[in-house]
Amino acid sequence: MPQTCLLSLPAPAKINLFLHILGRRSDGYHDLQTVFQFLLYGDQLDFYEDESLRLTCNLPEFENEDNLILRAARKIKAVTGITTGIHIHLNKNLPSGAGLGGGSSDAATTLLGLNRLWKINLSIEELSQMGAELGADVPVFIRGQAAWAEGIGERLTPIEHLDCPWYVVLTPPVHVVTSSIFQSPQLTRDTPAITLAAFHAGRVRNDCEPVVCSRYPEVKSALDWLSARGQARMTGTGACVFLACATENEAVMCLQQAPYPGFVARSCNRSPAMEALEAWIR
């Protein structure tokens, strides 16, 4: 008899609407400024009863012990002393090394889902602190609100009234290793800090674009192609590039003509994972 799914939650993609690198810190990390916004597109996590902790996936290469989903589940069990098992099935749609936050979003959805399923009742702040130990981007997915981010990305200020256009997102078939981009001697590390007003005025860029484009011709090609059609930008450290469109139809038509695969999605300022959790009644 098929198992009954206890809870099904989205793990949405994010995009960085800009990314400025202000400097390198003594601990090797970088001070930055960015704005995170969510997309109504991403992975899906289904939770099932199980005696042990296990992960399955529609793409078997993600079924490894170092997957952030398992690391998140082990962490919440260790912190709380919960001994219950769980089977998590990941329906993976987001490519790795794409700048869309797929692994971080999966980890956040795992923490949020298990906190609710197991009735642990940890606060969002407690979950965010736990998530930060898994990855710098995890807290933004746990807090679930579009945000202005500073520091290494951990200082988050919610933004409620960002425009929510349709985006065409191109996914060049390359995996960009974030650490290698931040270690590059070619990376600009002296961008002056800006204000939210400067962001709204459009005086922003992604400082990682020149480094990524010099190393990955496919990213440069995709960005050049989209830039001929509007103000295109790379998200995070890549490899995905995106362009805001006036309508869904315009985005679909752009994708149909594009030289690389991708997807079309509406942006949103509140995570669909939070919306799904609020709607779930056990």
pLDDT of 28 higher than 90: no
pLDDT of 2 higher than 90: no
Given this model, what pLDDT does residue 1 score? 46
Let me know if 137 is a catalytic residue: yes
User: Cβ-count burial of 127 within 10 angstroms (0-12 exposed, 13-18 middle, 19+ buried)?
Assistant: buried
pLDDT (tens digit, 9 = 90+) per residue, 181-210? Answer: 999 999 999 999 999 999 999 999 999 999
Name the catalytic one among 14, 75, 92, 220. Answer: 14
Q: Which residue has the higher pLDDT, 1 or 189?
A: 189
- Which domain covers residue 214, as residue numbers? 1-282
Number of domains observed in the structure of the chain = 1
- Percent of the chain at pLDDT > 70 equals 99
pLDDT (tens digit, 9 = 90+) per residue, 251-263? Answer: 999 999 999 999 9
pLDDT of 103 higher than 80: yes
CATH code where residue 67 lies: 3.30.230.10
pLDDT tier at 105 (50, 70, 90 boundaries)? very high
- Percent of the chain at pLDDT > 90 equals 94
- The residue-averaged pLDDT of 45-53 equals 97
Let me know if 14 is a catalytic residue: yes
For residue 210, the cross-strand partners are: none
DSSP string across the chain: -PPPPSEEEEEEEEEEEEEEEEEE-TTS-EEEEEEEEEEEEEEEEEEE--SSEEEEESSGGG-STT-HHHHHHHHHHHHH-----EEEEEE--SPTTSSS-HHHHHHHHHHHHHHHHTT----HHHHHHHHHTT-TTHHHHHHTB-EEEETTTTEEEE-------EEEEE--S----HHHHHT-TTS---PPP--HHHHHTT---BTTHHHHHHH-HHHHHHHHHHHTTS--EE-TTSS-EEEEESSHHHHHHHHHH-SS-EEEEEEESB-HHHHHHHH---
Cα distance between residue 216 and residue 66, in whole Å: 26
- The residue-averaged pLDDT of 30-59 equals 97
Given this model, what pLDDT does residue 281 score? 72
The amino acid that residue 220 corresponds to is K
Given this model, what pLDDT does residue 282 score? 65
- Which pTM value belongs to this model? 0.96
Handedness of CA 105, 106, 112, 116 (dihedral sign): positive
pLDDT of 20 higher than 60: yes
Name the catalytic one among 43, 106, 137, 207. Answer: 137
